[in-house]
Amino acid sequence: MTENNLTEHQLRHVIDLTVESNPTVVGDWLADRPGSWGFLAGKAVMACRKSVGRMLTDHERRIVWHELWGALSKLKQDSTC
């Protein structure tokens, strides 16, 4: 039996969906409100886990967090331009 790998497409979809589905919490993150990062990171990890049908490895979780942080940081940068 082969392991379901987290693909770049799945990751991108989950990150986009996490951001789009949680505008209030994204706003909280942009305002540096406590708890917003953990909420969004948890949502993204849970969605990736569901997408691949298994628990994520530590490395995969770190990739999810990194990509989510990058997407949120881009939003912050775009909102200050």
Ranges of each domain in the chain:
8-80
Whole-model pTM: value is 0.91
Tell me the mean pLDDT in the region 32-39: 98
Closest CA to 51 of 19, 13, 18: 13
Percentage of residues in the chain having pLDDT higher than 70: 95
- For residue 3, name the pLDDT band (cuts at 50, 70, 90): low
Q: b vs e for 9-33, b when ≥16 Cβ sit within 10 Å of the residue's Cβ?
A: eebeebbeebbeebeebbebbeeee
Range with the lowest mean pLDDT among 1-10, 26-35, 63-72? 1-10
